[in-house]
Amino acid sequence: MASEKFQNFIDETGDIARFTGRFFKELFKPRFEFNEFFRQCFFIGYKSFPLVAITAFIMGLVITIQSRPTLVEFGAESWLPRMVSVSLIREIAPVITALICAGKIGSGIGAELGSMKVTEQIDAMEVSGTNPFKFLVVTRVITTTLMIPILAVLADAISLYGGFLGANIHGVVSWDLFWNQVFDTLAFGDVVPSIIKTYFFGFAIGIIGCYKGFNTNKGTEGVGIAANSAVVISSLLVFILDLLAVQITDILGLN
Amino acid sequence: MNTELSIQNDSNSSNTSDLVVCIRNLEKSFGENHVLKNFNFKLYKGESIVVLGKSGSGKSVLVKCIIGLLYPDAGTIQVLGKNIPDLNHDELDRIRVKVGFLFQSNALYDSMTVRENLEFPLRRHWIKMDKEEVNSLVMEALGNVGLEETIDMMPSELSGGMRKRIALARTLILKPEIILYDEPTTGLDPITSTEISNLIVDVQKKYNTSSIVISHDMNCVKIVANKIVMLVDGTNYISDTYKELQKSKDIKISSFFK
Ligand SMILES: Nc1ncnc2c1ncn2[C@@H]1O[C@H](COP(=O)(O)OP(=O)(O)OP(=O)(O)O)[C@@H](O)[C@H]1O
Ligand SMILES: [Mg+2]
């Protein structure tokens, strides 16, 4: 039983690797589907923004309010903006954005492609001379890879604003003082690696959503399973990639 | 084989250059489930053959093998002179331009409007076509099925029968040489069913297309069939005209003609 599960895990990992390989092969074939790409940018990027913005704002606010008592205890209250900005930019904003997107976008892609698969729409594309892999998968994976970093950068800014409000609830921290401290603190090593990793988050979310949707079977029940497992696997991958990213920046001495 | 002979006899008038689809010894199974066994079939130009068989007998599997969506285990499927299982993706694509396929499930793209659905098969020609041309083709196809007013609707806003007709319009828009209809009239009222059946006959006459129609709607079968092939136990059981089969005493056949 356990060995069977392990076997399934290995098989699926292999399948996902092959799917990713196919993505890169099809990516460079001629005729990129620009219209579909822009349509997806709208759906994936623009429509996810409100959710990401609200979450980022609340996270910034809450983290700041929660951190204050500890700092006060050490008499280091003036360090609040520095501490909060580092944790928001390095970790919280990118990872929260990626998780929200894994939930919203990953499940959306999984369910959309899954239902297209079970209602034979993907077969219909195939017979009408449009490569469904290029049309559906390549466009979506590129969109998530490009859009999630943008959403993460916006989330960075919004969460910092939330942090500013949080810092202002008790003592008055002036606008200038807050941002001066934030920009003094944040270094290249804080910002750039955290943006780079979001490209990988985006890629993983797109690939897993598409893989799950594209390989759906068993009718409508399968669509639910596809959407669900797309979220589970891509969220897990976000954490694994985050762990790797920390290790790599550490080795490169950027910490 | 007996049935094989009868197909050739029926088509004495046609010579082999008019042969558009020729299937020999087709085998297809899914695991233990042996769906098609030693299936043989011939379709000549301008002909319209109905494949009759009970639910789950493998009719959809058969047409999906012809269009290359399923890969057979054994046998040859010659379409317009090319053996489908041997073709690579690009070659297959060139054949598919000439073969229309109506899915049993309609397979309309539900994130697109009716117009976009109909334009989709034209994408392969877009480089050569301007907007006017595309638009007139779309209107003509919609006119054929009498649904011009639905052009800006989404498939989810249409009734089941309207969806079937839109799917039919999408299949016909490129005026393919061969059309495979998987249950074009199932679930439609008798009036619409008759209209669709007449449309199939009209298209066949107007563009000299050849068609394979899967159906167990006897009203439709009667209108469109030049010949009927019965699919029983995964193989071509018998092949004859509607009139002859109607007289048959064989229970496997007569149960369809009640
Ligand atoms: N992709 C598939 N995987 C596994 N089995 C399949 C697949 N497609 C079809 N089958 C099996 O093949 C058999 C024939 O299916 P098919 O869809 O061709 O029936 P049909 O003759 O079209 O029936 P209906 O009239 O109900 O549409 C069925 O037993 C079905 O379970
Ligand atoms: Mg069927």
pLDDT tens-digit series, residues B190-210 = 888 898 899 889 888 888 899
For residue B10, name the pLDDT band (cuts at 50, 70, 90). very low
Q: Is residue A128 part of a domain?
A: yes
H-helix segments, chain A: 2-27, 34-40, 49-73, 80-87, 93-101, 107-118, 121-127, 132, 139-169, 175-185, 188-214, 219-251
Domain boundaries, chain B: 1-92+178-258, 99-175
Q: Is residue A12 part of a domain?
A: no
Alpha carbon distance, N-terminus to C-terminus of chain A: 43
CA of B35 to the centre of ligand 1 (A): 8
Confidence (pLDDT) at B16: 62
C-alpha to C-alpha distances, B119 to A182, B83, B159, nearest whole angstrom: 53, 29, 21
What fold is seen in the domain B1-92+178-258?
Rossmann fold (3.40.50)
Average pLDDT over residues A11-17: 92
Nearest C-alpha neighbor of A166 from the set A66, A26, A70, A239: A66
Average pLDDT over residues B81-97: 89
Q: What atom of ligand 1 comes closest to residue B58's alpha carbon?
A: 18
Please report residues of B whose CB lies closer than 8 A to that of A109. Answer: none
The answer, yes or no, to whether residue B70 has pLDDT greater than 90, is yes
Q: Do A130 and B103 touch (CB under 8 A)?
A: no
Inter-residue contact B3 to B239 (CB < 8 Å): yes
ipTM of this complex prediction, to 2 decimal places: 0.86
Q: Is residue A47 part of a domain?
A: yes
Least Cα separation, residue B93 to chain A (angstroms): 6
Structural domain range at position A208: 32-251
The answer, yes or no, to whether residue B1 has pLDDT greater than 50, is no
Whole-prediction pTM = 0.87
The answer, yes or no, to whether residue A134 has pLDDT greater than 50, is yes
Weakest-pLDDT range from A1-10, A141-150, B4-13, B244-253: B4-13
CA of B171 to the centre of ligand 1 (A): 22
Average pLDDT over residues B109-129: 85
Please report residues of B whose CB lies closer than 8 A to that of A121. Answer: 107-110
- Give the count of domains, chain A: 1
Pocket (CB within 6 angstroms of ligand 1): B 30, 33, 35, 53, 55-61, 104
Q: Do B123 and A129 touch (CB under 8 A)?
A: yes
Q: Is residue A9 part of a domain?
A: no
Average pLDDT over residues B13-33: 83
Least Cα separation, residue B222 to chain A (angstroms): 28
Distance in angstroms (rounded) separating the CA atoms of residues A242 and B71: 42
Confidence (pLDDT) at B7: 43
Q: Is residue A22 part of a domain?
A: no
The answer, yes or no, to whether residue B15 has pLDDT greater than 70, is no
Return mean pLDDT, chain A. 91
The answer, yes or no, to whether residue B9 has pLDDT greater than 50, is no
Confidence (pLDDT) at B13: 45
Q: Is residue A11 part of a domain?
A: no
Inter-residue contact A194 to A249 (CB < 8 Å): no
The answer, yes or no, to whether residue A215 has pLDDT greater than 60, is yes
